[in-house]
Each structure stands twice: as C-alpha cells, then as structure tokens.
Amino acid sequence: MAKRTYFSHKGILLSTLYSSEESVSFIENEFQFFDDDIVTVSYPKSGTNWMLEILGLIWHDGDPSWVQSIFSHERSPWIESVDGLEAALKYPPPRFLTTHLPFQLFPKDFLHSKCKVIYIMRNPKDVLVSHYHFAKFCEGLEEPGTWEEFLEKFLNGKVMFGSWFDHLKGWMKLKDRPNMFFISYEELQQDLRGNVERIGHFIGKELDGHQLDEVVKHASFQIMKDNKMSNFSLLPDMDHNKGKLLRKGEANMKISLSFLLILLARVLYPYGKAVGDQTTPKEDD
Ligand code: A3P
C-alpha cells in the first residue's frame, strides 16, 4: 500500500494507503447495515472527528472514559479503508461507523435500512484550508503542492473523495429521509450544547443538564486537542512535526469576494474555467 498516491474508483480519487478496489467495491455492493448502526458521513475536514467525539460522549452520558481510552478509528471505523472495513465486520452491534464516501459509493443496502446517518458539512473555504494543511503531514494524501495548485485541484474535484460540491449535492438529495440528520460545523460552533441535545435525541439518548454540560466540556477544542485517542498524535501515517489534526478549529465566515465568486462559478459551471481572469484567492482571503 503506497504512500501519497491515489487510485481512481468510478471517477473518485481514493488513497492507496487506506483503500483498495476490493474494499470499496465490497462496501458499495455487499456491505450490510444493522438498524441500530450510527454512521457519521462527511466530506474530509468538515469536523468528522469532532462528531465522533460528540457521539461517543453522548452514548456514555457525558463520561469521557470511552473516548479517552479507545482510538477514534476503533470506536467508529472508517468503512472505506481496508482496516476499517475489517473492524466494522467484527464490531458487535450497536456499531458506530464513519465514512467520507460520496453517496454513489455508499453501501446500496442503506436504501433498505433504518440505520441512522449523521452528515456533517462545513463551509468549503475552511474545508479547503484545513485539507491543504492536513495533506502536508498526512502520508495517506497526495502532496498538496503550492496553495494555488491545491486550490485548482480542490475546485476541480481532483482531491481525495472528489468534489466538495458533488459530495454535498449527492447527500443532500436524501435530506428528507427520517434516518438522516444534517448538521454543519458552523452550527456546532454556534451552539454546541443545543446541538448535542438534538444529536442525542436523533440517536435516542436524552441527556440531563449535567450530562449535556459534560459532553460540551469534553468535546471542546482544547480537551479534544489533548486527547491522544482522538487527536491522531499516535498514528503512524502522519508526520507529526509538520502539523496537527486539531489545527485552528474555527469557523471563518469572513470570505473575500473573489473566493465567493470562484465558489459560485463552480456551482454554476462545474469543472469549467473559473470566472474570467481573476486572481487566485489567497489562503487567508
Ligand atoms: P482546522 O484544520 O480548520 O483546524 P475532520 O475531523 O473532518 O478531519 O476535520 C478536522 C477539522 O475539525 C480541523 O479544522 C479541526 O481543528 C476541527 N476540529 C476537530 N475537533 C474539533 C473541536 N473539538 N472543536 C472545533 N473544531 C474541531
């Protein structure tokens, strides 16, 4: 399994370090859900690991011992990876599962299942910046190149798991299903306690005031940053001198006009040229 290379599966780029043709084909066509599965789905860098921490804490009534003693990828394996799939198949129910797969590669069995899916999304500018920094130190991802190069790849969907725009559009088609819950990173930032309560309700866990406070406390950026079971600091496929999973943890709602125009152009003209000759927006625009 080579580092920093991708293969294309049905037009979607996937990491050769984590996935294989066989694992993703199995997931799409043969993987079976149980009705009590709780699946976190996201485009990479949208706050996936934050959601896993929140779910683990809710499940244990705010007690942090589970999330602070078991690795996040063991608590909620990423099913598109070879190792994660193996773990998921051995996982005694009720299972927590995770995936970044776009809907067209998600297990077909989902359409006949009552399993619960939480889709977490984040504004594309912050996803892009977070992804760019993550690719510098995670050896499962291609080298990002310069900011300008990475921006172009991101806008053209030539990054791991394909286009942010298509991912969101594909999953959004399911928004009216009762077993789907959509939430944004920005909503979590705005009102963590209120949203922990909503998530708890969705997964069938009603917490009291003290338990909610405990979830909010242990899911905070600072406490999670120090949790070695969730902060990726013990994972071997990362160069820990070059970056951290919990980098800034902010919702940057200040986007420059040039960025907005570029994003709008991509929605209107997917994979076409961006608007005219405008200059490339910078990372902090
Ligand atoms: P930044 O790189 O902008 O800091 P994912 O888990 O999908 O890979 O997303 C990673 C992003 O979620 C990172 O964003 C990380 O800092 C942020 N994140 C993780 N845990 C968080 C928390 N407890 N509070 C706020 N942001 C968090």
- Per-residue pLDDT reduced to its tens digit, 73-129: 999 999 999 999 999 999 999 999 999 999 999 999 999 999 999 999 999 999 999
Is the per-residue pLDDT at 283 higher than 90? Answer: no
Region class of 161: left (phi > 0), else alpha (psi between -120 and 50), else beta: left
**Predicted pLDDT of residue 217:** 98
Best substitution site from 247, 250, 284 to test ligand 1's pocket, by max atoms within 8 Å of Cβ? 247
Q: Which residues contact 72 (CB under 8 A, 6 or more apart)?
A: 49, 52, 53, 56, 229, 230
| CA pair distance 163, 169, nearest whole angstrom | 10
Answer for the pair 147, 211: CB distance below 8 angstroms, yes or no.
no
User: 3-state SS of the chain: helix, strand, coil percent to 5?
Assistant: 40, 10, 45
Q: What average pLDDT does range 197-208 have in this prediction?
A: 98
More confident position, 211 or 280? 211
pLDDT in tens, 131-164: 999 999 999 999 999 999 999 999 999 999 999 9
State the pLDDT confidence band at 270, using cuts at 50, 70 and 90: low
Average pLDDT of every residue of the chain: 93
pLDDT band at 271 (very low <50, low <70, confident <90, very high): low
Residue-wise pLDDT for 249-263, tens only, equals 999 876 666 677 777
Tell me: pLDDT of 269 over 80.
no
Residue 51 tokens, joined: 């959601």
- Reference 160, options 174, 144, 148; nearest CA is 144
2: confidence class by pLDDT, cuts 50, 70, 90: confident
pLDDT at 282: 78
Please tell me whether the peptide bond between 94 and the residue prior to it is cis, using omega within 30 degrees of 0: yes
Answer yes or no: 240 catalytic: no
pLDDT number for residue 277: 46
What integer pLDDT is reported at residue 275 of this predicted model?
A: 46
Work out the number of other CB atoms within 10 angstroms of the CB of residue 124: 24
Ligand 1 centroid, distance to 211 Cα (angstroms): 23
Q: Give the span between the Cα atoms of 155 and 162, in whole angstroms.
A: 10
Q: Whose CA is nearest to atom 8 of ligand 1?
A: 45
Q: Does residue 54 have a pLDDT over 60?
A: yes
- Of 245, 248, 253, the residue with max ligand 1 atoms within 8 A of its CB, to mutate for a pocket test, comes to 245
Q: Whose CA is nearest to atom 14 of ligand 1?
A: 249
| DSSP assignment string, 87-145 | HHHHPPSSPEEEE---GGGS-GGGGG---EEEEEE--HHHHHHHHHHHHHHBTTS----
Q: Which atom of ligand 1 is nearest to the CA of 248?
A: 4
DSSP, collapsed to helix, strand or coil, labels residue 184 as strand
